[in-house]
Structure 1
Amino acid sequence: MGLNPSETSGDQPADETDTEGADDSGPKVGVYLGDEGALEPWESWFGRSVDYYSFNVPTSGWDKYLVENMPFERPIRSIASEREIAVTMKLFPPSETTLNAVAAGEHADRHRAFARSLIDHGMADATLRIGHEMNGRWAFDNAVNRSNEFVRAWRAVVRAMDAADEAAFDYVWAPHIGRGHMDPTDAYPGDEWVDQIGLTIYDKSQQYYPAECGDACVREHREENWNRLVNQDFGLSYWAEFARDHEKSLAFPEYGVVAQNWNGAGGGDNPLFFERFADWIASNDDLVAWHNVWCFVAGPHFVGPSQLYVSDQWEIHSEASETFKNLFGSE
């Protein structure tokens, strides 16, 4: 957001950064793998380098809110030198403090130190998804029944991080698609404090799948679920309008398919999800800036070459993987 460190008192940002939509080349593509050592072989399978590489800040303690203390499998600086970086960061580690303390600015030094650490490791212009999925109780830094507190905490974090010399971060405000446990717009920090609107969206539904569901039944349920994701309260259509109304670009820092045996709610190996997603972003190419597929190498969302997948708990998404590659990878 480019705040001037000399003007960070009060609850207003010192300046405002204009955010443009996606450029003429179309939305950029990123990946989260949870294993930096898997990036090069994944990109080899994909047919090109990704535009964004994504990682999470560990939440075990403030000491992990420093790049030098994070458990990367290869130096992150070398990855950042050739790709843009998207960082997912909770507002605080839950064992150390509270949302109220962050809102009061009590940990500005910690957030400023994290900013300095990113800058020193070649990520001064990283894109930061902070306090994500705040509309769900599953997020320990959520805004449910405390939206004003969340907004103050968000602003305190942005103010502190932008006070670091050379900081040029972009901040993504990213609820989970749908209502969750609150009206997510109650926790919107304000246009001056947000660069992009982001969404978490997965191919999951409690309607997946009835017993003895044949091919036609499976396709019908997959189409129905996609339509629900678009048209539900706070669905894709709503957020596209919200982003345009606020003159923000739209990003998808976390999205993908879900193993069918994940809580009985996953759509499984569903290429249709990526097909419909590609169609939707193409029809909103003035708005969508980037999308980052979530495929942790040991998780229920993996897409990619089977030799990189290290879990036998979840099914392989071979058809969805090929569809994703054909849609967004090499020609």
Structure 2
Amino acid sequence: MNRPSLRPRAALTVLLAAVLVLLLPYDRLAPGDRRTGGADTSGPGQVAGVPSGFFTGSDATGVRRIAGAQAWLGGEALTVGHTYLPGDRWSNIEGHPALFGPWARWKADRPGRLFVLNVPLLDRSEEGLPDREVRAGLRDGAAGAFDRHFRTLGERLVAHRLGDAVLVLGWEMNGTTYSHRCGPDPAAWKAYWRRVVGVLRAVPGQRFRFDFTPSRGRDAVEWPRCYPGDDVVDVIGMDAYDQPAGLSFEGQVTEEYGLGHHVAFAAAHGKPVSYPEWGLFRNGDNPAYVRGMLDWFAVHRPVYQTFTDYCPHGVWGCAGNPASARVLRRALGSPAGP
């Protein structure tokens, strides 16, 4: 079995940090927070100070829906706007005013808001390309074949006053969903990431931060094998949905390459963490999972967290998860239930 390529000292640091982070959160939680069901002990403002968002859609409609989610929460908790560039063709990966304009206005409307943008690294991103095409694309990208697209993207973001965005490049690269997956050629993937960051950092006026975000767990390949280097990563994120069926939140912390490994790896590399995507999934309406994630954020203080709010993952846009909705609503702003 292939294992992450870590120097002995770094590997030891990860191991020691993992022991600490696996013990710390649960020492701080009441017994009712660690089991499915039971009393809702999540208090108002549980994740106060952690920049938070709801993903409600990518376009202007999604921007407008943030206000509805904010009103439902009953507070002013949502300071993160998170969206995705379409990955079907290069012209969309370059971005366009119809997408950036509404987000730029939302961000400018109130100081302190954060804009997070997921950026595909290859076109035809969800077409199930075979490994040979993915490998060729990664190698072409590493050689500079797509530089102009990312330069255009950077220039358009700066022109829309979004030059301080957090850019989540090639997310969930350890899986098989996207054409920008790492598995067919990890060395080329890392070289390509480094190339893209170099192009974007050269854009005048930019202050981008770059977020390396695998999906939780091992998936198709061990995600540390894809890590491109501390000099080209600012934040180490993780997409973490409630799956597979039957796996508790504690299991999601301790599983191979899970939440515990994530924070230990980030600590070993001197990076903050983020959670660009999280939400319900295979275990249905699961308030214990939601409480677990919120308590995790309270302990580990991510740069930002974004809850995915559409079915089956959501609570505001998905009426079938009322118990989880009560927990999330109470933690992010309102002491009352829905």
Deviations 1:130-189 (A, max 9, x none): 111111122211111310010011111111111110010000001111011112111100
Residue in 2 aligned with 1:28?
A: 51
User: In structure 2, what residue type is equivalent to 1:57?
Assistant: L
Distance 2:140 2:263 in 1: 33
More helix by share: 2
Question: Per the alignment, in what secondary structure is the counterpart of residue 304 of structure 2?
Answer: strand
Distance 1:269 1:45 in 2: 18
Distance 2:315 2:98 in 1: 24
Q: For residues 26 and 39 of structure 1, do their structure 2 counterparts lie closer, same or farther at Cα, with a shift above 3 Å needed?
A: closer
> Given that residues 170 and 181 in structure 2 are in contact (C-alpha distance below 8 angstroms), is that contact kept between their aligned partners in structure 1?
yes
Q: Which structure 2 segments of 5+ residues have no match? A: 1-46, 126-132
User: In structure 1, what residue type is equivalent to 2:64?
Assistant: G
User: In structure 2, what residue type is equivalent to 1:90?
Assistant: P
Q: For residues 206 and 171 of structure 1, do their structure 2 counterparts lie closer, same or farther at Cα, with a shift above 3 Å needed?
A: same
Residue in structure 1 matching 2:329, options 325, 328, 331: 325
Provide the identity percentage. 25
> Given that residues 55 and 306 in structure 2 are in contact (C-alpha distance below 8 angstroms), is that contact kept between their aligned partners in structure 1?
yes
Q: For residues 71 and 171 of structure 1, do their structure 2 counterparts lie closer, same or farther at Cα, with a shift above 3 Å needed?
A: closer
Q: 2:99 matched to 1:85?
A: no
Deviations 1:114-143 (A, max 9, x none): 011111112110001111111112221111
Residue in 1 aligned with 2:224?
A: 185
Query: Once the 2 structures are TM-superposed, how far is the Cα of residue 190 of structure 1 from its aligned partner?
Result: 0.3
Residue in 2 aligned with 1:164?
A: 203
Query: Once the 2 structures are TM-superposed, how far is the Cα of residue 330 of structure 1 from its aligned partner?
Result: 4.5
Residue in 2 aligned with 1:68?
A: 96
Distance 1:26 1:71 in 2: 28
Distance 2:99 2:150 in 1: 19
Deviations 1:176-208 (A, max 9, x none): 11011112111100000000000010112143x
Residue in 1 aligned with 2:253?
A: 230
Distance 1:119 1:184 in 2: 31
Question: Per the alignment, in what secondary structure is the counterpart of residue 183 of structure 2?
Answer: coil
Q: 2:212 matched to 1:173?
A: yes
Q: For residues 267-286 of structure 1, what are the structure 2 equivalents within 5 Å?
A: 267-285=283-301
CA RMSD of aligned residues (A): 2.1
Aligned residues: 272
TM-score by length of 2: 0.75
TM-score by length of 1: 0.77
Deviations 1:205-259 (A, max 9, x none): 143xxxxxxxxxxxxxxxx52111000111111111111110100100010112x
Question: Per the alignment, in what secondary structure is the counterpart of residue 172 of structure 1?
Answer: strand
Question: Per the alignment, in what secondary structure is the counterpart of residue 327 of structure 2?
Answer: helix
Distance 1:70 1:182 in 2: 36
Residue in structure 1 matching 2:280, options 243, 257, 268: 257
Q: 2:182 matched to 1:152?
A: no
Question: Per the alignment, in what secondary structure is the counterpart of residue 239 of structure 2?
Answer: strand
Distance 2:259 2:286 in 1: 19
> Given that residues 200 and 252 in structure 1 are in contact (C-alpha distance below 8 angstroms), is that contact kept between their aligned partners in structure 2?
yes
> Given that residues 197 and 249 in structure 1 are in contact (C-alpha distance below 8 angstroms), is that contact kept between their aligned partners in structure 2?
yes
User: In structure 1, what residue type is equivalent to 2:292?
Assistant: R
Higher relative contact order (CA 8 A, sep 6+): 2
Question: Per the alignment, in what secondary structure is the counterpart of residue 168 of structure 2?
Answer: strand
